[in-house]
């Protein structure tokens, strides 16, 4: 999410800020009647035989003094319009009630089941702490508490892994919302960190050796990801590279060990969606070299171990996915055996070996179902889920008698269940106490036709007995990319939006994986416009069915969803009144040049490729802003803490939209120095973020009331 920066307090400080901004040339008086003036400095280039003009390329230089002054002026302008909105205080109070509750992550048990490790944030805490519990119902002991590390709670922790005997914990320390983290090792017996620290970098995985004396980890290097082994007590700079030479910066790598540590599994993902995945295995006990398992097939292969048996979830020759078993004594493709076949009526989302069986997560019409099988593929039963919603992957050990999973829905906050192998039943392990009038909320799934007549499903959340009179403020959000599924999830924003008379809508757009790989590929590369067409069709359906009307419709999206709403506002500015565009991709002709964007070239293409250039140019939002158009009011959100999607996209788009905006429909930029793609923000900050965004939308939709 994004960070709220409080406005200047008191006349004296306000005057100083205005003086500084005026000296920088951005404002000329104390009355902020319009956005700061942005210098126009055209850069011209020829792409594919066409001249392209970029008037705000100077804003790409994030650390330039002129850019920093411009950012300060933009934040001040945003504060001047949003800090006094009438509903902010009341919204913040309600978000506090929904968000400041006890929250637990899935527990990770030691191999003997005597210790459980998990992240926990209590209702009176701002950040998650890392906790250990002796026995399933024992007392919690806080091991790592980051609250005292920074005054603004901008440093957070998350759990990476535990050693098999539960004697050591690997955890990440994150500054703000950066993708890069520092890895530390906590010794449970002494209750202190080891001196071994892996410096801040982008890490993809970490796993302990069976004896707990070393750590296998994957670090992203300048040339691409590399697998290392660190022996505790030795200098990190002497860690030996084990694997990865030849894999470039467009690839992602993850590595892990089988229970007991005999086998090392390495997985290579070509691009962020892993449309092509390679698998390698090494028998550490035999000391043999790393051997390829799947390297030459254009498909997704996700491997894991059931004991010492390799099982693979794959869409190879199965767009909705199936599960294979591989005998590592005979790993050749001719010996692969299908144990769970593809279904045409459901997609396999995930698969986890635990308690001597496979837990297989299906998505059936965008609703979760979890079935279990033995290693021969024999059905063993189904987890009982309480309602329409989303179940997480199951977490457990192969030889354990218990496993854990979470469940949530639009009206069910995420709760954790413990599954017992003896009884085959689930019991609640942790459930947040959320003051939510769920009995007054209705969830329905509807279907609409997109531009090319493809039927697309959409979840609607609203008050029971809603009158279809076109009056309701409606919040439409989506994603549509990278094989990501938009199944039902709990959102405090959705709950409050509905409480205040609104409709919350989430369509399953093409580009996601809700209906398998065919659905994903129908919204990527040269088919990307289908994603935008689906979102536009969802908005048109909501208007046509009289849930809302264009001046009561808001759209919101982040990251790839930011590209989605950016395309929406440039292609159909008449269809919505307000837009929130968070951490977005918007300049699609240059996106591939910054940060880790090479991961996304398999999904979008690259302007350096003559085949992809016209496709990207046809929808790139930054290149389709037209003077004289009445665009919706826009709140763009980004900041320095985003080390994944370059913040330059939002900076340049804010400047461009402000140059053509019409009165009453402002373009605002909320720019943060800490928050980014990877979360980690304190819950108090999230409260302010949500309150600001909802207050902005309700103001622009003309439905704002008092506090």
Count CB neighbours of 65 within 10 A. Answer: 9
Two structure tokens written together for 556: 């919101």
Q: Given the DSSP bridges, would you call strands 503-507 and 474-477 parallel, antiparallel or unpaired?
A: parallel
Report how far residue 244's alpha carbon sits from residue 340's, in angstroms, rounded to the nearest whole number: 31
103 given a catalytic annotation: no
Given the residues 559, 606, 684, 693, the one annotated as active site: 559
559 given a catalytic annotation: yes
Is residue 169 within 8 Å of residue 184, measured between CB atoms? Answer: no
Two structure tokens written together for 666: 């402002």
Q: How far is CA 211 from CA 6, 92, 231, 390, in A?
A: 50, 49, 11, 36
Two structure tokens written together for 563: 């590209």
Count CB neighbours of 41 within 10 A. Answer: 12
Two structure tokens written together for 581: 């565009």
Count CB neighbours of 130 within 10 A. Answer: 20
Q: Count of alpha carbons within 13 Å of 454, Cβ hemisphere only?
A: 23
Given the residues 230, 677, 684, 693, the one annotated as active site: 677
Which residues lie below 8 Å from residue 224, measured CB to CB, with a gap of 6+? 244, 247, 248, 249, 250, 251
Report how far residue 646's alpha carbon sits from residue 208's, in angstroms, rounded to the nearest whole number: 33
Residue among 611, 621, 598 at smallest CA distance from 526: 611
**Residue recorded with tokens 């210790």:** 115
**Residue recorded with tokens 């969830």:** 443
- Helix 648-658 to helix 560-571 angle (10° resolution) is 20
Residue among 352, 425, 416 at smallest CA distance from 383: 425
Count CB neighbours of 336 within 10 A. Answer: 18
Q: Count of alpha carbons within 13 Å of 275, Cβ hemisphere only?
A: 22
**Residue recorded with tokens 């199965």:** 318
Catalytic (active-site) positions: 559, 677
């Amino acid at each position: 999410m994004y960070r709220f920066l409080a406005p200047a307090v008191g006349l004296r400080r306000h005057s100083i800020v205005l003086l500084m901004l005026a000296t920088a040339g951005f404002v000329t008086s104390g009355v902020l009647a319009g956005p700061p003036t942005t210098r126009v400095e055209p850069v011209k280039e020829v792409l594919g035989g066409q001249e392209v003009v970029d008037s705000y390329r100077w804003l790409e230089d994030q650390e330039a003094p002129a850019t920093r002054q411009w950012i300060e002026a933009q934040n001040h302008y945003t504060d001047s319009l949003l800090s006094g909105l009438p509903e902010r205080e009341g919204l913040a109070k309600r978000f506090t009630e929904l968000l400041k509750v006890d929250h637990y992550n899935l527990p990770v048990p030691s191999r003997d089941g005597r210790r459980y490790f998990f992240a926990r944030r209590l209702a009176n805490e701002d950040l998650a702490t890392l906790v250990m519990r002796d026995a399933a119902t024992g007392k919690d002991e806080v091991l790592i508490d980051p609250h005292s590390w920074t005054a603004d709670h901008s440093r957070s922790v998350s759990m990476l892994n535990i050693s098999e005997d539960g004697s050591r914990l690997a955890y990440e320390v994150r500054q703000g919302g950066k993708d890069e983290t520092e890895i530390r090792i906590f010794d449970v017996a002494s209750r202190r960190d080891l001196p071994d620290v892996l410096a801040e970098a982008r890490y993809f995985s970490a796993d302990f050796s069976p004896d707990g004396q070393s750590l296998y980890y994957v670090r992203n290097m300048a040339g691409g990801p590399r697998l290392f082994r660190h022996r505790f007590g030795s200098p990190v700079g002497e860690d030996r590279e084990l694997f990865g030479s030849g894999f470039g910066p467009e690839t992602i790598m993850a590595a892990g060990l089988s229970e007991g540590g005999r086998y090392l599994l390495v997985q290579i993902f070509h691009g962020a969606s892993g449309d092509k995945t390679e698998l390698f295995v090494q028998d550490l006990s035999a000391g043999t070299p790393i051997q390829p398992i799947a390297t030459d097939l254009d498909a997704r292969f996700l491997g894991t171990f059931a004991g010492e048996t390799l099982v693979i979830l794959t869409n190879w020759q199965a767009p909705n996915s199936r599960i294979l078993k591989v005998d590592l004594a005979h790993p050749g493709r001719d010996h692969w055996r299908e144990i769970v076949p593809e279904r045409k009526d459901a997609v396999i989302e995930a698969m986890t070996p635990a308690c001597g069986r496979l837990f297989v997560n299906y998505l059936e019409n965008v609703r979760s179902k979890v079935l279990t099988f033995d290693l021969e593929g024999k059905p063993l039963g189904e987890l009982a889920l309480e309602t329409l919603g989303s179940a997480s992957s199951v977490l457990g050990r192969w030889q354990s008698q218990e496993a854990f999973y979470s469940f949530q829905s639009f009206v069910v906050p995420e709760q954790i269940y413990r599954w017992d192998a003896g009884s085959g039943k689930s019991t609640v392990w942790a459930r947040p106490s959320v003051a939510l009038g769920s009995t007054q909320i209705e969830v329905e799934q509807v279907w609409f036709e997109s531009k090319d007549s493809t039927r697309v499903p959409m979840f609607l959340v609203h008050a029971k007995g809603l009158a279809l009179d076109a009056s309701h403020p409606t919040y439409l959000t989506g994603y549509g990319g990278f094989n990501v599924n938009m199944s039902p999830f709990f959102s405090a924003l959705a709950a409050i939006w509905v409480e205040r008379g609104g409709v919350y809508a989430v369509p399953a757009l093409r580009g996601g994986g809700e209906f398998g790989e065919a659905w994903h590929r129908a919204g990527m590369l040269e088919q990307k416009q289908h994603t935008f067409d689906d979102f536009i069709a969802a908005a048109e359906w909501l208007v046509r069915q009289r849930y809302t009307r264009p001046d009561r419709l808001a759209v919101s999206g982040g990251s790839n969803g930011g590209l989605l709403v950016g395309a929406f506002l440039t292609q159909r500015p008449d269809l919505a009144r307000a837009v929130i565009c968070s951490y977005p991709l918007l300049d699609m002709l240059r996106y591939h040049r910054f940060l880790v964007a090479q991961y996304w070239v398999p999904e979008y293409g690259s302007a350096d490729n003559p085949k992809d250039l016209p496709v990207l140019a046809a929808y790139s939002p930054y290149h389709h802003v037209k003077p004289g158009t009445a665009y919706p009011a826009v709140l763009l959100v980004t900041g320095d803490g985003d080390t994944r999607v370059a913040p330059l996209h939002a900076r340049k788009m804010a400047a461009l939209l402000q140059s053509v905006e019409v009165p009453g429909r402002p373009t605002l930029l909320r720019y943060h120095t800490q928050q980014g793609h990877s979360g980690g923000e304190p819950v108090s900050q999230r409260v302010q973020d949500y309150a600001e965004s909802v207050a902005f939308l309700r103001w622009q939709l003309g439905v704002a009331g008092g506090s």
